[in-house]
Structure 1
């Protein structure tokens, strides 16, 4: 029943959207997880997209009473575009631990594909009695007429949650693989992506649901 519920939510979030959840994995050692202070890192050279993405995720965590910091608030914009050594990253992790961080949410694009989608009647034609000339004349337009196909780009992205644990190496808690399909608007794409990530994290019990309205609003409801 729970599996069906998760599938229903995933479908509701991803339908009519530029983002689709492909797969996700949760560390079985973490039944639930309650972060206290999260560093949000979006690895992209597009500064506008990075800022919008980190800002929205920060707002989602803060609405749940969790302290969150954007990488753009902590580091120079070049942080994600300059190469780092293993020693530099180890020092960074130690500094985060000393500053009270216990969680790192890291997002990056891991691949890009250009695809072509043909019209439905081309893909599902099961006519076994068609002659060569008919077959050729019908399909030749698929290559010369833009109305018969749609070219689009798919960005394969990955978001990972790590525990910055003081007693052992940085442990992977959760990883989600998400496809971003032919994005046209940074704002729309970021909205869909963040919403999808948050829904999945809620279902996996890795982030709590939003806090209820403040006491003032509650009182006004009952008075």
Structure 2
């Protein structure tokens, strides 16, 4: 049984849509995968080397951590990267966030050439049944083998575990790269994280997958770092 919660999908709207990414900080997943990417035909031959990374969330800690992971991956490849929280920190003035025109003006004035956004666009809950488990152990003589009472009392709770229902969470994320100069979508990638349990490492994995794909699609040119 699956239930899905959908989030609006926007391409850098008039005001930034705030989407909660708190799960990235508080939860890691058993698997985080990039499921697809798209590159604008007009982006051929264009690379970016001064990028702002922006997590679209009202959760300050989540925003800071997700942006830091993306920034670190870019810096490791010799690409200039700045967290959006360092350029326009949260003020709490409005729920909608700062005016997007002011953000673009500020980025253009500082010679940034692209902004990389991260957003949670969908959430799904999957209920599944975990069947009972009957274990087996090799025959070895211990004291409890001496009579039925001791044998049954020792092994019965160990060998049999009843079945149960559990819920898995699947989170669908989108990362977009926009050119700052013309405010145009250059690149987009979709990914998902399945069965969260502690998600700190998932944010790091998402950043690694995203930046690797940007390099593969020739939108950044990793530099050899000098030791």
Band the TM-score falls in, shorter-chain normalisation: 0.5 to 0.7
Give aligned pairs, total. Answer: 171
The answer for the alignment partner of 2:134 in structure 1 is none
Structure 1: how far apart are the matches of 2:114 and 2:199?
A: 26
Structure 2: how far apart are the matches of 1:80 and 1:155?
A: 29
Could you give the per-residue CA deviations for residues 60-89 of structure 1, whole angstroms, max 9, x where no partner exists? 22223322110111122357983158xx21
Match of residue 104, structure 1, among 115, 120, 138: 115
Runs in 1 of length 4+ with deviation above 6 angstroms? none
Q: Identify, as 1 or 2, the structure richer in helix.
A: 1
Structure 1: how far apart are the matches of 2:122 and 2:184?
A: 24
- Give unpaired runs (5+ residues) of structure 2: 1-28, 132-160
CA-atom RMSD, angstroms? 2.8
1:146 Cα deviation from its structure 2 partner:
7.5
Higher alpha-carbon Rg: 2
2:172 is the alignment partner of 1:156: yes
Choose 99-108 or 54-63, whichever is displaced more.
54-63
Secondary structure (helix, strand or coil) at the match of 1:182 reads strand
Structure 2: how far apart are the matches of 1:157 and 1:80?
A: 27
The answer for the alignment partner of 2:194 in structure 1 is 181
Could you give the per-residue CA deviations for residues 1-57 of structure 1, whole angstroms, max 9, x where no partner exists? xxxxxxxxxxxxxxx953122222110111243213211100123333322211121
Match of residue 125, structure 2, among 114, 128, 135: 114
The answer on whether the counterparts of 1:24 and 1:175 sit within 8 Å (CA) in structure 2 is yes
The answer on whether the counterparts of 1:49 and 1:186 sit within 8 Å (CA) in structure 2 is no
